[in-house]
A and B are shown apart, each in its own frame.
Chain A
Amino acid sequence: MLTLLGLEFRKLLGARSVRIALLISFLIPWIWSLAPRLQQVYGLVLTSGFQVPAISLITSVQFVLPLFVALSCAEMIGTEVAQGTLAPLLLRPIDRNRVILSKLITALIYPALLLLVLLLGSFLAGARLGYGDFVGGSGLGPGGFIGQGALSSGAALGQVLRGYLLGALVMAPIAALAMLYGVVFLNTSAAALATIATLQIMRLLTVFPESFQQVLLTTHLDLFLRQGNISQSLILLVIYTAGFCLLSVFAFDRRDV
Chain B
Amino acid sequence: MTKTAVSGPSAIEVRGLSKRYPGASVLEDVNLTVKPGEVYALTGPNGAGKTTLIRTLTGLAFPTKGKVFLMGRNVHEDGPRARAYLGAVVEAPARFYPQFSGTENLTMHAKLAAMAPNGVRVSRDRIREVLALLELTRMADRKVAEYSLGQRQRLGVAAAMLADPKVLILDEPTSGLDPLGINLIHRIVTSLATSGCAVILSTHHLREISTYAHTVGILTGGRMVDSVDLRSRQAAYRFRVDDPQGAAELLERLPFVRRASSRTPYAVAHLGGESRVPEALVALSNGGIRVYEATPDHFDLYEYYRERVEQA
Check A84–B91 contact: CB distance below 8 A. Answer: yes
Check A92–B83 contact: CB distance below 8 A. Answer: yes
Q: Does A88 contact B (CB under 8 A)?
A: yes
In the complex, what distance in Å separates the CA atom of A256 from the CA atom of B58? 11
Contact of B91 among A87, A89, A90, A95 (CB under 8 A): A87
Decide yes or no: A96 and B60 within 8 Å by CB, A83-B98, A84-B91 being known contacts. Answer: no
In the complex, what distance in Å separates the CA atom of A93 from the CA atom of B88? 12
Q: Give every chain A residue within 8 A of B83 (Cβ-Cβ).
A: 91-94
User: What number of A-B contacts does a CB cutoff of 8 Å give?
Assistant: 76
Q: How many residues of A contact B (CB 8 A)?
A: 21
Check A85–B95 contact: CB distance below 8 A. Answer: yes
Q: Give every chain A residue within 8 A of B80 (Cβ-Cβ).
A: 93-95
Q: Give every chain A residue within 8 A of B79 (Cβ-Cβ).
A: 93, 95-96
Check B112–A92 contact: CB distance below 8 A. Answer: yes
Decide yes or no: A257 and B61 within 8 Å by CB, A11-B97, A91-B86, A93-B80 being known contacts. Answer: yes
Closest to A90 in B: B60
In the complex, what distance in Å separates the CA atom of A94 from the CA atom of B98? 22
Q: Give every chain A residue within 8 A of B100 (Cβ-Cβ).
A: 14
In the complex, what distance in Å separates the CA atom of A254 from the CA atom of B88? 20
Check A91–B81 contact: CB distance below 8 A. Answer: no
Within 8 A of B (CB), among A87-126: 87-96
Check A89–B97 contact: CB distance below 8 A. Answer: no
Q: How far is the CB of B281 from chain A (nearest CB, A)?
A: 54
Check B60–A85 contact: CB distance below 8 A. Answer: no
Q: Give every chain A residue within 8 A of B214 (Cβ-Cβ).
A: none
Q: Measuring CB to CB, which residues of chain B are less than 8 angstroms from any residue of chain A?
A: 55, 58-62, 79-84, 86, 88, 90-91, 94-100, 108-109, 111-117, 119, 159
Q: Measuring CB to CB, which residues of chain A are less than 8 angstroms from any residue of chain B?
A: 3-4, 7, 11, 14, 83-85, 87-96, 254, 256-257
